[in-house]
Amino acid sequence: MNSTIEKSQIQKLISMALSEDIGDGDITSQAIFKKSDISEGKITVKEEGIFCGGNVFKFVYEEINKNINVTPLVMDGDRIGKGSEVIYLQGPTQDLLAGERTALNFIQRMSGIATKTRQLVDLLAGSGITLLDTRKTVPAFRILDKYAVKIGGGTNHRFGLFDMVMIKDNHIHAAGSITNAVKLVREKYSARYQIEVETSTLDEVREALDAGVNIIMLDNMPPDITEKSIKLVNRQAKIEVSGNIDEKKIREIKHLAIDYISIGGLTHSVKAFDLSMKFY
């Protein structure tokens, strides 16, 4: 996917998020402040990590009031320290407060994903292994989740079911075998798509290899079977390792002759990055 996000790509998502939070209006702020009241403030961070989502933050406020001044002070992908100021805001007080939670919700998730991704990319440095994300994203947030992975230094796997062939366990079960599933895909698409097959046993790896697939996923395999599978493949196909991968497991396998590690936890188990808005 692209390394930037256009407002048009997430317009509906922003509108839904604001409607969910604001509803008929911010009754607290409307009681305390006049429409003419103006405030300014900054978004500050409370931990070290990778910033992500500056433009998305700005898009939220553009939806509320185009005259609000939102100025990112850092770039997406920048490493930020505790206490850093990352965004400046100035505009009607009611509007700044109305958009605060929604805008922060976007960037706390995106920065959390980018930060975790960078930690794991750094852990893989020098190994030659590419870190991939998955489709285990919040529904309708995929473009943001995968953008954040990319900002963190990871690589996007397929975006959806439409841009890559991946034959998984249920496909294999329903088709009768890996061999038959691959045959049917090739009959339908010829060489239009590369084919990846999910495997969990040495026999399945052998069958996928015999079928001439491009990528073999070793899914939730014990260490000894993983190593036997890598030896069997012997660089005749690319290898992706997946299944409950964490930092400990990365350290254990990063010396192996594999091409990819995919981690659903980059996006399905996000630790929100700690940011807040402060007026001054």
Residues classed as catalytic: 136
d(CA 267, CA 113): 6
d(CA 130, CA 153): 10
- Among the listed residues 109, 105, 147, the one whose alpha carbon sits nearest the alpha carbon of residue 17: 105
CA max distance for the chain: 72
- Among the listed residues 154, 145, 104, 137, the one whose alpha carbon sits nearest the alpha carbon of residue 10: 145
- Could you give the count of Cα atoms lying within 13 Å of 80 in the half-sphere of its Cβ? 29
Contact 127, 255 (CB under 8 A): yes
d(CA 200, CA 212): 17
Contact 92, 43 (CB under 8 A): no
- β-bridge pairing 79-80 and 49-50: antiparallel
Contact 51, 24 (CB under 8 A): no
Q: Output the six-digit token pair for 20.
A: 């969910």
- Among the listed residues 77, 89, 25, 80, the one whose alpha carbon sits nearest the alpha carbon of residue 53: 77
